[in-house]
Structure formats: structure tokens, C-alpha cells
Amino acid sequence: MPSIEGSSRLWYLASFMASAISERFGDYELVERLGVGGMAETFSAIRRGPGGFEQRVCLKRILPTFVGDVDFVEMFLREARLSALLHHGHIARMEGAMRALGVPDGWLEVQILQQVNFVEDGRPMDMSKREGQFVSMDALCDDVGADVAKYIFLTRKPNSHLDFDLDMAREQSNENPVFYVKYAHARICSVLRKAAEAGVVVDEVSEKGLAGLDADQEWALAGELIRLPETIADAAASREPHRLTAYAQDVASLFHQFYHHCTILGDDDKVTVARLQLCQATRAVLANVLELLGVEAPEYMGEKE
């Protein structure tokens, strides 16, 4: 595509009006039609303002014939949002480089990370790249711990803004999401140790062993556990690891409810075995999710167990 003089930026604008080409498109005056490809057309355009202000851009819009194609319009809008975030053509140039190398279209995927704002004492911290005011990853990990930093970053979509609450991240309480999940895993390990000390033998998780489950809290937890393969597959396919942290939070919450409502080591041997097997399954699920996230799954967390 020919270069455009001035402070040019590649702007993708979607048009939903099936009309003939006009000399204007919104605030922009269409100067020259540069070409047509696929389902869109490209123009050089200019926007004028007071005081002789001029902004020259490359403008791309959907051909009128295809504005009714919902799937294409959605894809086009995703590109528009991507371009609006970047304000430069690096991605397009990288895709061009991939094509030049013979790499199939769609092979290169670009994840856009949004800004992280740090909050302390209820107020956003002042940061400026120009003034050298920023928080390095090393400093953050030294402050709150690598596991906490990693987990909190993974609680949001990559393209979502994140307000990182440093006070919450430093807490050893249920307000801290990674503490909450780790505590669930440690609590299960504590229950299984107590069962072993009492001489209770727990076999591998089986349909027969789980037959003693009856309470609503037990089945709610069991129903969530079987969603693990689906959750991992969806997170991988969509490139959204935050789905794993959300799932871990749900499993931990359901386990804590089960723990508080159901006596695990009771007098009924059948029920005890069933509940211990449910604990085993929950521990395995949490351990697997935390391993995928690169976060430790502790067996001990002090007196609070």
C-alpha cells in the first residue's frame, strides 16, 4: 500500500450503510481510492480542523455488498479495535513478513496487553515512562511474591485493564484470590492427613466410592470438577488463561462450602469414604490448574488449616 505523507496512522473504520462511494466518510474527505481487495476498499483521506489542522490517514471500509455479513463485520470490527489500540502498523507489517516467508495466513496471532494500574492505600500510583516512574516486575515480585503477581495478572483478559491492588495482594486472607485457592488445596491436604492418622484407607476415586454422596454441596462441587477438561480446552482455544483462574476460584469456593456444611470424617464409613474421595478429586483438580498457571500448590499453610 502506498505511504501517506504526514502523521499517518492506519485506521480501520467499519461502514454499516450500503451506499455508493461518496466524497466524504464521516469527518474524513476521501482523497484517492487506493485499491479494493477481498471485501473492503482502501482510501487515502484527510480530516481538517480549525487553525489549518490536517490529519492524513489511510482509511479502510467494508464494501457495501458485504455489510450484511454479520461474521465478516465482526471480524472487521475486531481488526478495528486492534488497530485503535496500537496506533501503528507493526502487526500489519509482521503479517506481511510472515506471508513473504511463506507462512500460512492466520498462523501469527498477536495478543494485546492493556495497561496495568497499581493501587495503594486506595489511590492509583503515579507512573510515567518519560519521568522514569514505574514498578518493575522484579520489584513487584519482591513485594507481593511471584505466585501472587502471576495469578492476579491472569485474572483478567489480556486486552482488559487491570487495577492491581497492592494492599490486597499483600494480604494473607480470603480477599487475596491466590491465597483463597492455595488455602483450599492446603486444607484438603490437611483433611487427608488426618484421615490417614485415623487409619482411614481411601482408595482411588471411583463411581462406587462416590455413591455415598448425597448433600447438595457435595454434588455442586462434583459437578464443577468434571468441567476441568472443557475449561482447559476452552482456555487454550481462546488464548484466555483467565478462564483457569476463574475456574480455580469457583472450585475453591464450592469446596469451602462443602467443608463447612458436611462433616468429612464422620461415623458413617460409606459417607466418610465418599467425601474423602471427593476431597482427593478436588485436590487433584486444583493442583493441575495451579500447575498450568505456574503457581505452587502448597500442602501446608500454617495454623489456619
pLDDT in tens, 127-149: 776 677 788 889 999 999 999 99
**Would you say 86 and 112 are in contact if contact means Cβ atoms under 8 Å apart?**
yes
127 and 198 share one domain: no
Question: Phi first, then psi: what are they for 87, rounded to 5°?
Answer: 60, 25
**Would you say 211 and 271 are in contact if contact means Cβ atoms under 8 Å apart?**
no
Position 158 scores a pLDDT of: 76
Position 89 scores a pLDDT of: 59
160 and 260 share one domain: no
Position 231 scores a pLDDT of: 96
Residue 131 domain boundaries: 116-170
pLDDT in tens, 171-187: 988 899 999 999 999 99
Q: Which residues of the chain have pLDDT under 70?
A: 1-22, 37-38, 51, 80-92, 112, 129-130, 302-305
Q: What is the CATH number of the domain that holds 281?
A: 1.10.730.10
94 and 150 share one domain: no
200 and 269 share one domain: yes
How many CA within 13 A on the CB side of residue 165?
A: 10
What's the number of domains the chain is made of? 3
3-state secondary structure string across the chain: CCCCCCCCCEEECCCCCCCCCCCEECCEEEEEEEEEECCEEEEEEEEECHHHCEEEEEEEEECHHHCCCHHHHHHHHHHHHHHHHHCCCHHHHHHHHHHHCCCCCCCCCCCCCCCEEEEECCEECCCECCCCECCCHHHHHHHHCHHHHHHHHCCCCCCCCEEEEHHHHHCCCCCCHHHHHHHHHHHHHHHHHHHHHCCCCCCCCCCCHHHHCCCHHHHHHHHHHCCHHHHHHHHHHHCCCHHHHHHHHHHHHHHHHHHHHCCCCCCCHHHHHHHHHHHHHHHHHHHHHHHHHCCCCCCCCHHHC
Position 3 scores a pLDDT of: 37
pTM of the model: 0.69
125 and 86 share one domain: no
